[in-house]
Amino acid sequence: MNGKIIKAKDAFLHITDLALLRGFGIFDFCRTQNGRPLLLDRYLTRFFNSAKYVDLGIPFSKEYIKDTIYSLLQNNSFEESGIRMVMTGGYTENGYTPGEPNFFILIEKINFPGKPLYDNGIKLFFLEHQRELSHIKSINYLTAISIRNAISKAEAYDVLYHYNGNVLEVSRSNIFIVRDRNIITPIKNILPGITRSTVINLARDLFTVEEREIPVQELFQADEVFMTGTTKRVLPVIKIDDHQIGTGRPGPVTKKLIALYRDFENSSTVVPSTGDQA
């Protein structure tokens, strides 16, 4: 936190922090696979882009942040770790104007969706909303968290946003549809997910992938729907409100991508062999 390694339980910020008073901050969240950070450089690039967009200077270099993450991972012993980088507007003197940013990296125990969710697919709650500054990763989740009880009551796993007649994204995941083995995913007014772009690249070897607007009607006519995210990987969606998608079971294209993504994760994090082992 702000350049010092401390125990998570001792990490506090004063109440004049601008995230507390005005919800003003950005973050990013990546994770380990086989104990090693997955695609860390890409998450760092996005984090720096978010900071630039809200006019906050990150007081540390990418190299310093990477080195710090590696040493934090060594000091923790989770099987797999979530790596959360947060930067706020800092301590404000007048309750509104940013000060020097507060910056911290938190290593967390990570919770993945359970196997039954991959086997059976999940239901999404459908809501008209577009995230504010949707192309950057701000800390603003006001709408999604406000409706948490309505989501639970509907027995949905998460919320899918649509706006102006187009499908956008899940609260913390991207959305894809499959029609006649073509894969389609929104490109505008969404967060550019790292898992999203990885899955697009993997899919292109076997399928056609289109990045374009998806009208709500096309979503409901899809053969398959799935979502992607750092902790979600590729997760099948079989219901949106009361609309069943396709057969109501995870489809063949989704299953193929789940497998391709698992292979990618493991191949990306293999420890290279050293001279000693050769």
Show the site string, 54-73: x = touches its own copies by CB under 8 A, - = not.
Answer: xx------------------
Question: From the CB of 159, what's the least distance to its own copies, in Å?
Answer: 12
Closest CB to its own copies among residues 84, 243: 84
d(CA 80, CA 111): 9
Q: Which residue has tokens 């359970």?
A: 114
**DSSP codes joined into one string, 65-76:** HHHHHHHHHHH-
Interaction between residue 163 and its own copies (CB under 8 A): no
Q: Return the range that interacts with its own copies (CB under 8 A); candidates 19-27, 193-201, 210-218, 248-256.
A: 19-27
> In this structure, are residues 228 and 193 in contact, taking their beta carbons and an 8 Å threshold?
yes
CA distances, 73 to each of 7, 87, 169, 269 (Å): 13, 19, 31, 15
* Among 66, 72, 80, 82, contact with its own copies (rule: CB under 8 A): 82
Q: Of 67-75, 138-146, 179-187, 238-246, which part binds its own copies (CB under 8 A)? A: 138-146
75 belongs to the binding site for its own copies (CB under 8 A):
no
Determine, following the binding rule CB under 8 A, whether residue 148 of this chain makes contact with its own copies: yes
Read off the DSSP letter of residue 187: -
The contacts of residue 150 (CB under 8 Å, 6+ apart) are 125
Helix, coil or strand: residue 64: helix
- Site mask, its own copies, residues 83-102, x = CB under 8 A? -x-x-xx----xxxxx----
Of 72 and 209, nearer to its own copies (C-beta) is 72
Residue type, 21: L
Query: Strand 233-240 relative to strand 243-244: parallel, antiparallel, unpaired?
Result: antiparallel
Residue 228, CA atoms < 13 Å, CB-side half-sphere: 27
Q: Which of 42, 49, 68, 106 binds its own copies (CB under 8 A)?
A: 106
Please name the helix (run of DSSP H) or strand (run of DSSP E) that holds residue 143, with its range, or none: helix 142-146
Residues in contact with its own copies, counted by CB under 8 A, come to a total of: 50
Shortest Å, Cβ 140 to its own copies: 4
* 189-228 footprint of its own copies as x/- string (CB under 8 A): ----------------------------------------
Cβ atoms within 10 Å, residue 26: 28
Site for its own copies in 239-268 (CB under 8 A): none
**Two tokens, residue 127:** 């809501």
Measured in degrees and rounded to the nearest 5, phi and psi for residue 107 equal: -95, 125
Nearer to its own copies, 53 or 220 (CB): 53
Positions touching its own copies (CB under 8 A) are 1, 8-9, 11-25, 27, 29, 53-55, 82, 84, 86, 88-89, 94-98, 104, 106, 108, 111, 132-133, 138-143, 145-146, 148-149, 172
